[in-house]
Structure 1
Amino acid sequence: MIDQLIDKLTDLITDLAKAAAARLAVFAVIGLTFLIGIGFLLAAAFMAVAAKFGAIAAAVAFGGGLIVIALVGLAIMAQRDPGEGIAKQTADAPQKAGRTEDDVLFDLLLHAATTGFATGQGNKPHMQTGFDQMMTDLEALGVFDRPMSKPVQDTDPDEDTKTAG
Protein backbone atom coordinates (compact mmCIF):
# COMPACT_ATOMS: atom_id res chain seq x y z
CA MET A 1 0.00 0.00 0.00
CA ILE A 2 2.76 2.43 1.00
CA ASP A 3 4.82 1.36 -2.00
CA GLN A 4 1.93 2.15 -4.34
CA LEU A 5 1.48 5.56 -2.72
CA ILE A 6 5.18 6.30 -3.01
CA ASP A 7 5.15 5.16 -6.65
CA LYS A 8 2.18 7.43 -7.38
CA LEU A 9 3.90 10.32 -5.63
CA THR A 10 7.14 9.81 -7.50
CA ASP A 11 5.25 9.56 -10.80
CA LEU A 12 3.37 12.77 -9.98
CA ILE A 13 6.55 14.57 -8.95
CA THR A 14 8.32 13.34 -12.09
CA ASP A 15 5.47 14.62 -14.25
CA LEU A 16 5.49 17.96 -12.44
CA ALA A 17 9.26 18.29 -12.81
CA LYS A 18 9.08 17.45 -16.53
CA ALA A 19 6.31 20.01 -17.03
CA ALA A 20 8.28 22.65 -15.12
CA ALA A 21 11.43 21.91 -17.12
CA ALA A 22 9.55 22.11 -20.41
CA ARG A 23 7.95 25.39 -19.36
CA LEU A 24 11.33 26.79 -18.33
CA ALA A 25 12.85 25.74 -21.66
CA VAL A 26 10.06 27.48 -23.57
CA PHE A 27 10.50 30.67 -21.55
CA ALA A 28 14.27 30.53 -22.09
CA VAL A 29 13.84 30.21 -25.86
CA ILE A 30 11.30 33.05 -25.89
CA GLY A 31 13.62 35.27 -23.82
CA LEU A 32 16.62 34.48 -26.00
CA THR A 33 14.62 35.22 -29.16
CA PHE A 34 13.46 38.51 -27.64
CA LEU A 35 17.03 39.53 -26.77
CA ILE A 36 18.30 38.62 -30.24
CA GLY A 37 15.51 40.71 -31.76
CA ILE A 38 16.47 43.68 -29.60
CA GLY A 39 20.08 43.23 -30.69
CA PHE A 40 19.13 43.35 -34.36
CA LEU A 41 16.95 46.43 -33.81
CA LEU A 42 19.82 48.18 -32.03
CA ALA A 43 22.20 47.21 -34.82
CA ALA A 44 19.82 48.54 -37.47
CA ALA A 45 19.31 51.78 -35.55
CA PHE A 46 23.08 52.10 -35.06
CA MET A 47 23.71 51.63 -38.79
CA ALA A 48 21.10 54.26 -39.63
CA VAL A 49 22.58 56.79 -37.19
CA ALA A 50 26.13 55.92 -38.32
CA ALA A 51 25.21 56.49 -41.97
CA LYS A 52 23.83 59.92 -41.16
CA PHE A 53 26.24 61.20 -38.46
CA GLY A 54 29.27 58.88 -38.59
CA ALA A 55 30.28 55.76 -36.69
CA ILE A 56 31.93 57.57 -33.75
CA ALA A 57 28.95 59.83 -33.12
CA ALA A 58 26.57 56.85 -33.35
CA ALA A 59 28.68 54.80 -30.93
CA VAL A 60 28.84 57.68 -28.43
CA ALA A 61 25.07 58.29 -28.72
CA PHE A 62 24.10 54.64 -28.32
CA GLY A 63 26.63 53.96 -25.56
CA GLY A 64 25.56 57.07 -23.65
CA GLY A 65 21.86 56.29 -24.16
CA LEU A 66 22.21 52.73 -22.90
CA ILE A 67 24.21 53.90 -19.87
CA VAL A 68 21.50 56.49 -19.05
CA ILE A 69 18.79 53.82 -19.34
CA ALA A 70 20.78 51.51 -17.04
CA LEU A 71 21.35 54.29 -14.49
CA VAL A 72 17.66 55.22 -14.47
CA GLY A 73 16.74 51.56 -13.90
CA LEU A 74 19.32 51.30 -11.13
CA ALA A 75 17.99 54.47 -9.46
CA ILE A 76 14.44 53.11 -9.58
CA MET A 77 15.49 49.78 -8.09
CA ALA A 78 17.57 51.50 -5.38
CA GLN A 79 14.48 53.42 -4.23
CA ARG A 80 12.35 50.29 -3.81
CA ASP A 81 11.95 48.50 -0.51
CA PRO A 82 13.86 45.18 -0.65
CA GLY A 83 10.99 43.38 1.08
CA GLU A 84 8.35 44.76 -1.28
CA GLY A 85 8.02 41.56 -3.26
CA ILE A 86 7.63 39.41 -0.15
CA ALA A 87 4.10 38.90 1.10
CA LYS A 88 3.80 40.08 4.67
CA GLN A 89 1.83 37.98 7.12
CA THR A 90 -0.81 39.86 9.06
CA ALA A 91 -2.38 38.79 12.32
CA ASP A 92 -5.79 38.46 10.64
CA ALA A 93 -4.75 36.39 7.63
CA PRO A 94 -3.25 32.91 7.91
CA GLN A 95 0.11 32.35 6.26
CA LYS A 96 -1.10 29.99 3.50
CA ALA A 97 -4.12 32.04 2.41
CA GLY A 98 -4.18 33.11 -1.21
CA ARG A 99 -1.82 30.42 -2.51
CA THR A 100 -2.27 29.83 -6.20
CA GLU A 101 -2.01 26.43 -7.83
CA ASP A 102 1.44 27.38 -9.15
CA ASP A 103 2.55 28.25 -5.61
CA VAL A 104 1.35 24.88 -4.34
CA LEU A 105 3.07 23.04 -7.21
CA PHE A 106 6.32 24.89 -6.54
CA ASP A 107 6.05 24.07 -2.83
CA LEU A 108 5.38 20.44 -3.72
CA LEU A 109 8.48 20.38 -5.91
CA LEU A 110 10.64 21.86 -3.15
CA HIS A 111 9.21 19.54 -0.50
CA ALA A 112 9.78 16.54 -2.77
CA ALA A 113 13.40 17.58 -3.32
CA THR A 114 14.08 18.08 0.39
CA THR A 115 12.33 14.80 1.19
CA GLY A 116 14.46 13.00 -1.38
CA PHE A 117 17.60 14.56 0.05
CA ALA A 118 16.58 13.56 3.58
CA THR A 119 15.86 10.05 2.33
CA GLY A 120 19.29 9.83 0.73
CA GLN A 121 20.89 11.02 3.97
CA GLY A 122 18.85 8.57 6.05
CA ASN A 123 17.39 11.40 8.12
CA LYS A 124 14.04 9.87 9.17
CA PRO A 125 12.60 12.91 11.02
CA HIS A 126 13.18 15.23 8.04
CA MET A 127 11.94 12.52 5.73
CA GLN A 128 8.66 12.21 7.67
CA THR A 129 8.28 16.00 7.80
CA GLY A 130 8.82 16.16 4.05
CA PHE A 131 6.22 13.47 3.38
CA ASP A 132 3.75 15.32 5.62
CA GLN A 133 4.39 18.57 3.75
CA MET A 134 3.96 16.79 0.41
CA MET A 135 0.65 15.30 1.57
CA THR A 136 -0.51 18.77 2.62
CA ASP A 137 0.45 20.14 -0.80
CA LEU A 138 -1.28 17.31 -2.63
CA GLU A 139 -4.37 17.82 -0.48
CA ALA A 140 -4.32 21.54 -1.36
CA LEU A 141 -4.21 20.56 -5.05
CA GLY A 142 -7.29 18.39 -4.57
CA VAL A 143 -5.56 15.08 -5.28
CA PHE A 144 -7.27 13.38 -2.34
CA ASP A 145 -10.69 14.96 -2.83
CA ARG A 146 -13.26 12.27 -3.37
CA PRO A 147 -16.87 12.95 -4.24
CA MET A 148 -18.97 12.55 -1.16
CA SER A 149 -22.05 10.41 -1.63
CA LYS A 150 -25.19 11.84 -0.16
CA PRO A 151 -26.59 9.87 2.76
CA VAL A 152 -29.67 7.88 1.89
CA GLN A 153 -32.66 9.61 3.45
CA ASP A 154 -35.48 7.58 4.89
CA THR A 155 -38.50 8.37 2.72
CA ASP A 156 -41.07 7.06 5.15
CA PRO A 157 -40.31 8.04 8.75
CA ASP A 158 -43.05 5.74 10.12
CA GLU A 159 -41.72 2.68 8.31
CA ASP A 160 -39.96 1.18 11.34
CA THR A 161 -43.16 1.43 13.40
CA LYS A 162 -45.20 -0.62 10.91
CA THR A 163 -45.69 -4.27 11.57
CA ALA A 164 -45.61 -7.00 9.03
CA GLY A 165 -48.75 -8.66 8.24
Structure 2
Amino acid sequence: MIDQLTQTLSGALTDLAKAAVRKCAVFAVIGLVLLTGAGFLLAAVYMALAASFGAIVAAITLGGTLITLGLIALAIIMQRDPGDAIDRPAKDETSSERDAREDDVLFDLLIHSAMTGYATGQGNHPKMKTGFDQMVTDLDALGVFGRKPDVREPDARTTDTTKAG
Protein backbone atom coordinates (compact mmCIF):
# COMPACT_ATOMS: atom_id res chain seq x y z
CA MET A 1 0.00 0.00 0.00
CA ILE A 2 2.76 2.44 0.96
CA ASP A 3 4.81 1.32 -2.06
CA GLN A 4 1.88 2.11 -4.38
CA LEU A 5 1.41 5.52 -2.77
CA THR A 6 5.14 6.25 -3.05
CA GLN A 7 5.21 5.18 -6.70
CA THR A 8 2.12 7.24 -7.48
CA LEU A 9 3.55 10.34 -5.81
CA SER A 10 6.92 9.78 -7.45
CA GLY A 11 5.28 9.46 -10.87
CA ALA A 12 3.18 12.57 -10.29
CA LEU A 13 6.19 14.58 -9.16
CA THR A 14 8.21 13.36 -12.14
CA ASP A 15 5.41 14.41 -14.51
CA LEU A 16 5.18 17.83 -12.84
CA ALA A 17 8.95 18.30 -13.08
CA LYS A 18 8.96 17.35 -16.77
CA ALA A 19 6.11 19.77 -17.48
CA ALA A 20 7.93 22.54 -15.61
CA VAL A 21 11.12 21.90 -17.59
CA ARG A 22 9.20 22.01 -20.88
CA LYS A 23 7.47 25.23 -19.87
CA CYS A 24 10.79 26.78 -18.82
CA ALA A 25 12.39 25.79 -22.12
CA VAL A 26 9.51 27.34 -24.09
CA PHE A 27 9.83 30.58 -22.08
CA ALA A 28 13.59 30.61 -22.69
CA VAL A 29 13.11 30.25 -26.45
CA ILE A 30 10.44 32.97 -26.48
CA GLY A 31 12.77 35.24 -24.46
CA LEU A 32 15.63 34.68 -26.90
CA VAL A 33 13.38 35.49 -29.86
CA LEU A 34 12.16 38.68 -28.15
CA LEU A 35 15.70 39.77 -27.25
CA THR A 36 16.89 39.13 -30.81
CA GLY A 37 14.03 41.23 -32.16
CA ALA A 38 14.79 44.01 -29.68
CA GLY A 39 18.44 43.93 -30.76
CA PHE A 40 17.51 44.34 -34.42
CA LEU A 41 15.13 47.22 -33.56
CA LEU A 42 17.87 48.96 -31.58
CA ALA A 43 20.27 48.48 -34.49
CA ALA A 44 17.72 49.99 -36.88
CA VAL A 45 17.14 52.97 -34.58
CA TYR A 46 20.89 53.47 -34.27
CA MET A 47 21.39 53.32 -38.04
CA ALA A 48 18.57 55.81 -38.64
CA LEU A 49 19.93 58.23 -36.05
CA ALA A 50 23.49 57.80 -37.32
CA ALA A 51 22.38 58.54 -40.89
CA SER A 52 20.56 61.69 -39.77
CA PHE A 53 22.77 63.11 -37.01
CA GLY A 54 26.05 61.19 -37.00
CA ALA A 55 27.34 58.18 -35.12
CA ILE A 56 28.37 59.96 -31.92
CA VAL A 57 25.05 61.76 -31.45
CA ALA A 58 23.19 58.53 -32.26
CA ALA A 59 25.17 56.58 -29.67
CA ILE A 60 24.75 59.27 -27.01
CA THR A 61 21.03 59.63 -27.65
CA LEU A 62 20.33 55.89 -27.73
CA GLY A 63 22.53 55.23 -24.70
CA GLY A 64 20.98 58.09 -22.72
CA THR A 65 17.48 56.92 -23.57
CA LEU A 66 18.22 53.33 -22.54
CA ILE A 67 19.86 54.45 -19.30
CA THR A 68 16.88 56.68 -18.54
CA LEU A 69 14.44 53.84 -19.19
CA GLY A 70 16.54 51.60 -16.97
CA LEU A 71 16.53 54.18 -14.17
CA ILE A 72 12.77 54.55 -14.44
CA ALA A 73 12.34 50.78 -14.28
CA LEU A 74 14.72 50.65 -11.31
CA ALA A 75 12.73 53.37 -9.54
CA ILE A 76 9.51 51.45 -10.10
CA ILE A 77 11.00 48.17 -8.89
CA MET A 78 12.57 49.83 -5.84
CA GLN A 79 9.13 51.14 -4.86
CA ARG A 80 7.59 47.66 -4.94
CA ASP A 81 7.07 46.04 -1.57
CA PRO A 82 7.84 42.32 -1.47
CA GLY A 83 4.73 41.90 0.65
CA ASP A 84 2.49 43.11 -2.18
CA ALA A 85 1.62 39.50 -3.00
CA ILE A 86 0.07 39.06 0.45
CA ASP A 87 -3.65 39.79 0.71
CA ARG A 88 -4.28 42.83 2.85
CA PRO A 89 -7.33 44.80 3.83
CA ALA A 90 -8.31 47.77 1.70
CA LYS A 91 -5.90 50.71 1.75
CA ASP A 92 -6.78 53.85 3.66
CA GLU A 93 -6.94 57.29 2.09
CA THR A 94 -3.43 58.36 3.11
CA SER A 95 -1.80 55.47 1.28
CA SER A 96 -3.82 56.19 -1.88
CA GLU A 97 -2.73 59.84 -1.68
CA ARG A 98 0.88 58.68 -1.32
CA ASP A 99 0.49 56.33 -4.31
CA ALA A 100 -0.94 59.21 -6.37
CA ARG A 101 1.99 61.42 -5.34
CA GLU A 102 4.47 58.68 -6.34
CA ASP A 103 2.69 58.32 -9.68
CA ASP A 104 3.01 62.07 -10.22
CA VAL A 105 6.74 61.94 -9.46
CA LEU A 106 7.19 58.99 -11.85
CA PHE A 107 5.35 60.90 -14.58
CA ASP A 108 7.54 63.95 -13.92
CA LEU A 109 10.59 61.70 -14.16
CA LEU A 110 9.40 60.41 -17.53
CA ILE A 111 8.82 63.94 -18.84
CA HIS A 112 12.16 65.22 -17.51
CA SER A 113 14.03 62.27 -19.01
CA ALA A 114 12.40 62.85 -22.40
CA MET A 115 13.29 66.55 -22.28
CA THR A 116 16.86 65.67 -21.25
CA GLY A 117 17.17 63.20 -24.11
CA TYR A 118 15.91 65.80 -26.57
CA ALA A 119 18.33 68.40 -25.19
CA THR A 120 21.14 65.85 -25.48
CA GLY A 121 20.26 65.18 -29.11
CA GLN A 122 20.22 68.91 -29.81
CA GLY A 123 23.51 69.50 -28.01
CA ASN A 124 21.94 72.03 -25.62
CA HIS A 125 24.22 71.69 -22.58
CA PRO A 126 22.36 74.04 -20.18
CA LYS A 127 19.04 72.24 -20.74
CA MET A 128 20.84 68.90 -20.46
CA LYS A 129 22.26 69.84 -17.06
CA THR A 130 18.91 71.17 -15.88
CA GLY A 131 17.20 67.99 -17.06
CA PHE A 132 19.68 65.73 -15.30
CA ASP A 133 19.29 67.79 -12.12
CA GLN A 134 15.50 67.43 -12.34
CA MET A 135 15.83 63.68 -12.90
CA VAL A 136 18.08 63.31 -9.84
CA THR A 137 15.57 65.32 -7.80
CA ASP A 138 12.73 63.07 -9.00
CA LEU A 139 14.70 59.90 -8.22
CA ASP A 140 15.57 61.27 -4.79
CA ALA A 141 11.89 62.01 -4.15
CA LEU A 142 11.13 58.38 -4.95
CA GLY A 143 13.73 57.23 -2.44
CA VAL A 144 16.02 55.56 -4.97
CA PHE A 145 19.14 56.87 -3.24
CA GLY A 146 18.15 55.31 0.09
CA ARG A 147 17.25 58.53 1.83
CA LYS A 148 13.70 58.94 3.00
CA PRO A 149 12.34 62.48 2.96
CA ASP A 150 12.22 63.91 6.48
CA VAL A 151 8.68 65.10 7.06
CA ARG A 152 8.78 65.22 10.87
CA GLU A 153 7.93 68.36 12.75
CA PRO A 154 10.99 70.19 14.12
CA ASP A 155 11.82 69.15 17.66
CA ALA A 156 11.52 71.86 20.30
CA ARG A 157 14.97 70.92 21.63
CA THR A 158 16.66 71.48 18.26
CA THR A 159 14.82 74.67 17.33
CA ASP A 160 16.51 77.75 18.72
CA THR A 161 13.85 80.34 19.50
CA THR A 162 16.01 82.75 21.46
CA LYS A 163 17.03 86.04 19.95
CA ALA A 164 20.43 87.60 20.17
CA GLY A 165 20.96 90.56 22.30
Return the TM-score normalized by structure 1: 0.51
CA distance in 1, matches of 2:12, 2:83: 33
Q: Percent identity?
A: 58
Residue 45 of structure 2 corresponds to: 45
Residue 28 of structure 1 corresponds to: 28
Q: Which amino acid aligns with 1:76?
A: I
| Structure 2: 5+ residue stretches without partners | 90-165
Describe the superposition over 1:96-149 as per-residue Cα deviations: whole angstroms up to 9, x where unpaired. xxxxxxxxxxxxxxxxxxxxxxxxxxxxxxxxxxxxxxxxxxxxxxxxxxxxxx
CA distance in 2, matches of 1:49, 1:61: 9
**How far apart are residue 5 of structure 1 and its match?**
1.5
Residue 74 of structure 1 corresponds to: 74
**How far apart are residue 4 of structure 1 and its match?**
1.5
CA distance in 2, matches of 1:56, 1:13: 55
Single out whichever of 53-62 and 74-83 deviates more from structure 2.
74-83
Q: Equivalent residues in 2 for 1:147-162 (5 A)?
A: none
Residue 6 of structure 2 corresponds to: 6
CA distance in 2, matches of 1:11, 1:89: 37
CA distance in 2, matches of 1:31, 1:3: 41
Q: Equivalent residues in 2 for 1:82-161 (5 A)?
A: 82-84=82-84, 86-88=85-87
**How far apart are residue 80 of structure 1 and its match?**
2.6
Residue 149 of structure 1 corresponds to: none
Describe the superposition over 1:79-107 as per-residue Cα deviations: whole angstroms up to 9, x where unpaired. 232321x22477xxxxxxxxxxxxxxxxx
TM-aligned CA distance change 1:77 to 1:47, over 3 Å: same
- Aligned-pair Cα RMSD in Å: 1.5
Is 1:55 aligned to 2:50, yes or no? no
Single out whichever of 72-81 and 35-44 deviates more from structure 2.
72-81
Q: Which amino acid aligns with 1:87?
A: I
Q: Which amino acid aligns with 1:45?
A: V
Aligned residues: 89
Q: Which amino acid aligns with 1:53?
A: F
**How far apart are residue 33 of structure 1 and its match?**
0.8
Return the TM-score normalized by structure 2: 0.51
CA distance in 1, matches of 2:4, 2:48: 66
| Structure 1: 5+ residue stretches without partners | 91-165
CA distance in 2, matches of 1:74, 1:28: 23
CA distance in 2, matches of 1:77, 1:14: 35
Instruction: Identify, as 1 or 2, the structure richer in helix.
Output: 2
Q: Which amino acid aligns with 2:26?
A: V
